[in-house]
Amino acid sequence: MINFIIWIIAGAVVGWVASLIMRTNSRQGLFADIFVGILGAFLGGYILSPMFHVSTINEGNFSIPALLVSLGGAIILLAISKLFRNIGGFLALIVIVLIAYTYYACWSLESTTAFCNAVRALPFLK
């Protein structure tokens, strides 16, 4: 439970610092900072962690390098969201990223879950 609270606080701090750097702080509140911090850490885990060999706050690592990788992911997320000023474009981008991730994660043959089998059975993916 305490790890979850620290995760939320670290996400809020990372999101707040990223919004200050990207100058979007006037449009964001506390919940948006938490969302940006946690989703940015997730994005940083896929983009920046392999380059720097550091985990993120989403993996329970609250060290300075992990916070910096999470901050980098949050900055990337805010830079992408600046491209799409309205919420519809941002949500469309998130849906596209999630679909691409699902396709990438389920296409390997060692994944035998029912969800991945259903994804592979879609007629437009053959």
pLDDT in tens, 6-48: 888 988 999 999 989 988 877 778 888 888 888 888 888 888 8
Q: Does the pTM exceed 0.85? A: no
Range of the structural domain that residue 99 is part of:
85-126
**Domain match, 38 and 10 both:** yes
Residue 55, both tokens: 């985990």
- 44-81 pLDDT per residue, tens: 888 888 788 888 877 777 888 888 988 999 998 888 87
Residue 79 sits in the same domain as residue 93: no
Whether residue 79 sits in one domain with residue 94: no
Same domain, 47 and 100: no
Specify the number of domains making up the chain.
Answer: 2
Using alpha carbons, select from 104, 113, 39 the residue that is nearest to residue 70: 39
Q: Which two tokens stand for residue 36?
A: 């940006």
Q: Are residues 56 and 91 in the same domain?
A: no
In a 13 Å sphere around the CA of 85, the CA atoms on its Cβ side amount to 0
Regarding whether 4 and 58 lie in a shared domain, the answer is yes
Q: Are residues 92 and 78 in the same domain?
A: no
| Residue that is last in its domain, among 67, 83, 99 | 83
d(CA 36, CA 102): 21
Residues 6+ apart with CB under 8 A from 55: 45, 49, 61, 66, 69
Out of 52, 67, 83, a domain closes at 83
Determine the length of the chain: 126
